[in-house]
Amino acid sequence: MIKKLWLIIGIISLFFSASLVWADRDNRLDRKAKEFRHEEPKGFGPRDLNEQQIVDGLKEALHVSAENAANYTGRRDGFFGNPVIKIPIPDQLRKAEKILRKTGSDKTVDDFVLSMNRAAEQAAPSAKRIFWHAIKEMSFEDARQILRGDDTAATEYFRRKTSEELRNAFRPVVVQATNNVGVTSNYKTLVGKAKSIPFVKVEPVDIDEYVVTKALDGLFYMVGQEEKKIRKDPMARVTDILKRVFGGR
């Protein structure tokens, strides 16, 4: 009888020990879950903002970044005067460029490069309308991911959401701009001169598509630079909601 009693006591003790272990594990998991739920997003300022205010703040940041970038790139020398985004001669024409410069045709090459950049500058302002549409489509989940992302997370959001639409919208604008500033004629002049040189092979280039691609690359780069300013520079937070959302950085 005594042995049975001790056996029962032992089983009960094991049961309570296991229960305590599982309870402690559950408490730790619960604490981790609460910490995760309340983890402060990167770039988040005060804790008293609701979801709508966070979304509004991100939309405002995107609006300001996109408008500043489009305005900057859309002015004279916005591309040509910025060595980081200046559109260079296509790779297919590099060899021809070197030979043409050696034979005294620098102006032919320079005119062609200048005209490509002028076309991009004329096309850039048309990006605003497409950006505004992408901003309207932003959800709270988009905003949360942007806040938790790096210094150009909003720019990458733009790139994902607008690249195809921007390319489609840019192309007719670029085609018109390339005609207005003489890109096509300059390209034909350059190719004609290059082909007149013995042993120089010139690969064909879709100039309109090339300018579209490079213009978008430059535009997204500048949007990223503007986003970094808002995240890091208090002076760039030009509205109250931007100050509240990004003020904690």
Whether residue 134 contacts residue 161, with contact meaning beta carbons closer than 8 Å, is answered with yes
At 4 the pLDDT is 47
Same domain, 148 and 225: yes
Domain span at residue 122 reads 49-246
> Within a 13 Å sphere around the CA of 20, how many CA atoms are in the beta-carbon half?
6
Residues 5 and 89 in one domain: no
212 and 91: one domain?
Answer: yes
- 224/152 same-domain check: yes
> pLDDT at position 173, please?
86
214 within some domain: yes
Q: Count up the domains in the chain and report the number.
A: 2
Residues 2 and 92 both lie in one domain:
no
**Owner of token pair 């029962």:** 8
pLDDT at 49: 65
Q: Is residue 136 part of a domain?
A: yes
101 is a domain residue: yes
Return the sign of the alpha-carbon dihedral for residues 108, 110, 113, 119.
negative
For 123, the token pair is 């096309």
Residues 149 and 35 in one domain: no
For residues 140 and 210, membership in a common domain is answered with yes
Residues 144 and 75 in one domain: yes
Per-residue pLDDT, 127: 84
Residue 244: the pLDDT is 67
In the chain, the amino acid numbered 222 is M
Residues 128 and 205 in one domain: yes
Whether 161 and 89 map to the same domain: the answer is yes
Quick one: 110 and 135 in the same domain? yes
The string of DSSP letters for the chain reads -HHHHHHHHHHHHHHHHHHHHHHHHHHHHHHHHHHHHTPPPTT---TT--HHHHHHHHHHHHHHHHHHHHHHHTSTTTTTT-TTT-----GGGHHHHHHHHHTT-HHHHHHHHHHHHHHHHHHGGGHHHHHHHHHHT--HHHHHHHHHS-TTHHHHHHHHHHHHHHHHHHHHHHHHHHHHHTHHHHHHHHHHHHHTSTT-------HHHHHHHHHHHHHHHHHHHHHHHHHH-GGG--SHHHHHHHTT-
pLDDT for the residue 114? 95
Residues 18 and 140 in one domain: no
Q: What angle do CA 232, 234, 237 make, to 5 degrees?
A: 100
Domain-located, residue 44: no
Residue 203 is predicted with a pLDDT of 84
pLDDT (tens digit, 0 to 9) for every residue of the chain, 249 residues total? 554 444 444 443 444 444 444 345 445 434 433 433 344 444 444 455 677 777 777 787 778 888 889 999 999 999 999 999 999 999 998 888 898 898 888 999 999 999 999 999 999 998 888 888 877 777 778 877 787 788 888 888 888 888 888 888 888 988 888 888 889 889 889 888 888 888 778 888 899 999 999 999 999 999 999 888 877 766 656 566 666 666 654
